[in-house]
Amino acid sequence: MKQSTTTYVAMDTHKETISVALAEGGRRGETRFLGEIPSRPECVAKMIERLAKNHGRLAFCYEAGPCGYGLYRHITALGHECVVVAPSLVPTRPGDRVKTDRRDAVTQASLFRSGELTPVWVPDDAHEAMRDLCRARQAAMEALRRARQQVLSFLLRHGRVYSSGGHWTRKHRVWLAAQCFEHPARQIAFEELVQTMDEAQARRDRLAAQMQELLPVWSLSKVVAAIQAMRGIALISAITLVAEIGDFKRFANPRQLMAYLGLTPSERSSGAKTARGAITKAGNTRARRVLVEGAWTYRLPARIGAQILERNERLPQPIKDIAWKAQTRLCARYRRLVRAGKPTNVVCVAIARELAAFAWAIATSGAVVAIV
């Protein structure tokens, strides 16, 4: 006999298997473990079909993780509700020291029924593909950074130090090409390190070019164009920021976006004691890094440079007004905090927090749709 209430199904997903638990609707509904199924689409569909015969409305959930959003899309395509849960926000008991797939699935089903799980925003397939491309470029950047450090460390071990300017300029590359070592093995090792660095740089540039090429067909291309009106956010930074955050309108106010990015101060207050510490760093690391890097540009006086002027040519006036307001405020705030004796890294994080608020104001502005 079918029930009229919702039945809550929790899944603990892994590479090979999925542990499934069920919580009946109602305050006294039974919570039980159903078993494990292979982590394959046909097995999931068979399990859902079997549950649909014996229960009314079904609601599924599983924790976000390395298995991605394929299971979510598969379940929603079958016509059922599905929620992807934030693992870091799942309530846990401090004294609980037993963790198994069975216990995790049963506990998650019970918490899902009581409404104590926090869902995450699930991007569509096209948005996730653009995010994958951005993260591939970031991985190439990290590989390039490591390769450059290895080259400099190798030269330092052998007493070769470049002191005629900055590293990785044209002049520095000429100096690198002129380095010779007496032993053939050492010369080969050096040349291999330099080639690894060049390959990483070429991969980074290829991925950046692909990001620019695919931008016009992306649904959020207008948002990317709009937030480039702000100082410190150029094309690649804008694409990365929008790809990581997604739909800005899902945040009701900029404070929610700041918290999502982990830019809000941590706090441990009790009674009359108020103690605030460093930022929480609880949100998206990649988007936070982009904002902090862009915040460094506000140490200079406010002005509209040639690059920003070129990016603003096709933008509506309301967006340019918000960007100029952000620049005048943040440049003044940077100097004021520095004069107050704040460390520069603390100042940049404070600027990045407000920069996120102005990015939210631009992205949620109605003027974005007027961009051509």
In this model, does residue 154 exceed pLDDT 90? yes
In this model, does residue 267 exceed pLDDT 90? no
pLDDT bin (cut points 50, 70, 90) of residue 269 is confident
The more confidently predicted of residues 26 and 263 is 263
Write out the two tokens for 164. Answer: 């005629």
- HEC string of the chain equals CCCCCCEEEEEEECCCEEEEEEECCCCCCCEEEEEEEECCHHHHHHHHHHHHHHCCCEEEEEECCCCCCHHHHHHHHCCCEEEEECHHHCCCCCCCCCCCHHHHHHHHHHHHHHCCCCECCCCCHHHHHHHHHHHHHHHHHHHHHHHHHHHHHHHHHCCCCCCCCCCCCHHHHHHHHCCCCCCHHHHHHHHHHHHHHHHHHHHHHHHHHHHHHHHHHCCCHHHHHHHCCCCCCCHHHHHHHHHHHCCHHHCCCHHHHHHHCCCCEEECCECCECCEEEECCCCCHHHHHHHHHHHHHHHCCCCCCHHHHHHCCCCCHHHHHHHHHHHHHHHHHHHHHHHCCCCHHHHHHHHHHHHHHHHHHHHCCHHHHHCC
- pLDDT tens-digit profile of 175-234? 999 999 999 999 999 999 999 999 999 999 999 999 999 999 999 999 999 999 999 999
Alpha-carbon distance of 91 to 103, in angstroms, equals: 14
- pLDDT tens-digit profile of 330-355? 999 999 999 999 999 999 999 999 99
Report, as an integer, the average pLDDT of 275-295.
91
Please name the amino acid found at residue 30: E
Report, as an integer, the average pLDDT of 13-39.
92
pLDDT of residue 45: 96
pLDDT of residue 275: 84
Alpha-carbon distance of 349 to 283, in angstroms, equals: 14
Q: 87 and 64 in contact (C-beta within 8 Å)?
A: yes
pLDDT of residue 251: 95
Alpha-carbon distance of 127 to 124, in angstroms, equals: 5
Q: 12 and 18 in contact (C-beta within 8 Å)?
A: yes
The more confidently predicted of residues 54 and 26 is 54
- How many angstroms from the chain centroid is the CA of residue 57? 33
In this model, does residue 4 exceed pLDDT 70? no
- pLDDT tens-digit profile of 124-146? 999 999 999 999 999 999 999 99
Report, as an integer, the average pLDDT of 316-330.
96
Cα angle: 356, vertex 275, 355; to 5 degrees: 10
Write out the two tokens for 299. Answer: 């140490």
In this model, does residue 3 exceed pLDDT 50? no
Report, as an integer, the average pLDDT of 6-28.
92
Residues in the chain: 372
pTM of the predicted protein model: 0.90
pLDDT bin (cut points 50, 70, 90) of residue 52 is very high
Q: By percentage, how much of the chain surpasses pLDDT 90?
A: 87
Please name the amino acid found at residue 230: M
Q: 51 and 30 in contact (C-beta within 8 Å)?
A: no
Instruction: Look at the block and give the residue holding tokens 């990785």.
Output: 168
Q: 229 and 319 in contact (C-beta within 8 Å)?
A: yes
Report, as an integer, the average pLDDT of 273-283.
85
Residue 107's Cβ-count burial label (10 Å; 0-12, 13-18, 19+) is buried
Instruction: Tell me the C-alpha to C-alpha distance, in Å, between residue 306 and each of 33, 309, 312.
Output: 63, 5, 10
Q: By percentage, how much of the chain surpasses pLDDT 70?
A: 99
